[in-house]
Amino acid sequence: MASLVEKVNTLINASLHSIVDKALQQNSVAVMDEYIRQAEKNLEALEDSAATVGGTVRTLKRKYEEFSQAAEKLDRDIDTLVIKGKDDLAAAAQAELNTKQQLAQEYYEQWQQQEQQYQSMLDMRVKLEGRLTAIRQEREHLRALIELTEAKKVTTKTIKSLDNLADVGDKEISSLADQIRGRLDTEDARLDMATRNISDQIDEAVRSGEIDRQLEERRRRLLGSSGGAGAGDESAGAAGESAGG
């Protein structure tokens, strides 16, 4: 997994300007074709891995919910046992409750970790697809530019980059070079914005999951104590005794 992520990040962060300049230097789009092959290969592997992680996320979430629901039911059963004076059964049930709550918490933490990794992989997929689309489009433009420069015998000027093309003195060639350079700059800016936003999006997703959990706990507590003021007073008294102890 780590190796795949490193390869994908290398492809995402590759300078499209450098790839285009190298293609011009070689007077061939072969270097762009190689990038496209590598990007397609790793994009497919990334999609497979993301699907696996996504499945794990769903499994962990389901396990967390199962143990949480079981713990809630067991918690209610303990109250019933205590009221009926069945202390031995209540003690055994409490021990089981502690175990289920611990497992629920472990599943929750694993779920959140995997969710973060899953979202990161989805973001990498989007960014790699964007780079792949950009290089495919520029391949055709660059191929036409190379053919044009050959036709006009400009290659004798030893063109090695888009910057050199801007100085060849041919308006049509210079215009094509400027257009390619402008699109590459736009793609780089788009990647930069995506990179800056993804960490904030992941943090927000994790925080929203924690907030949902906290609100659900508060909702259960409030609804559970709404049966009467007496129950609320007992809870308050118990909390006071606990704090005093």
Per-residue confidence (pLDDT) for residue 232, from 0 to 100: 43
Triad 205, 211, 215: Cα angle to 5°: 145
The string of pLDDT tens digits covering residues 156-210 is 455 556 666 555 556 666 666 677 767 767 766 766 666 666 556 656 655 656 6
**At residue 193, what is the residue type?**
M
The string of pLDDT tens digits covering residues 79-93 is 888 888 888 888 999
Per-residue confidence (pLDDT) for residue 238, from 0 to 100: 40
Per-residue confidence (pLDDT) for residue 193, from 0 to 100: 66
Write out the chain's pLDDT in tens, 245 residues. Answer: 668 889 998 998 888 888 888 888 888 889 889 999 999 999 999 999 999 999 999 999 999 999 999 999 998 998 888 888 888 888 999 899 999 999 999 999 999 999 999 999 999 999 999 889 888 888 888 887 777 766 665 544 555 566 665 555 566 666 666 777 677 677 667 666 666 665 566 566 556 566 666 667 766 776 765 444 444 444 444 434 444 44
Spell out the domain ranges in the chain. 2-224
**At residue 6, what is the residue type?**
E
Per-residue confidence (pLDDT) for residue 102, from 0 to 100: 94
Triad 74, 244, 215: Cα angle to 5°: 45
> With helix as H, strand as E and coil as C, how does the chain read?
CHHHHHHHHHHHHCCHHHHHHHHHHHCCCHHHHHHHHHHHHHHHHHHHHHHHHHHHHHHHHHHHHHHHHHHHHHHHHHHHHHHCCCHHHHHHHHHHHHHHHHHHHHHHHHHHHHHHHHHHHHHHHHHHHHHHHHHHHHHHHHHHHHHHHHHCCHHHHCCCCHHHHCCCCCHHHHHHHHHHHHHHHHHHHHHHHHHHHHHHHHHHHHHHHHHHHHHHHHHHHHHHCCCCHHHHHHHHHHHHHHHHC
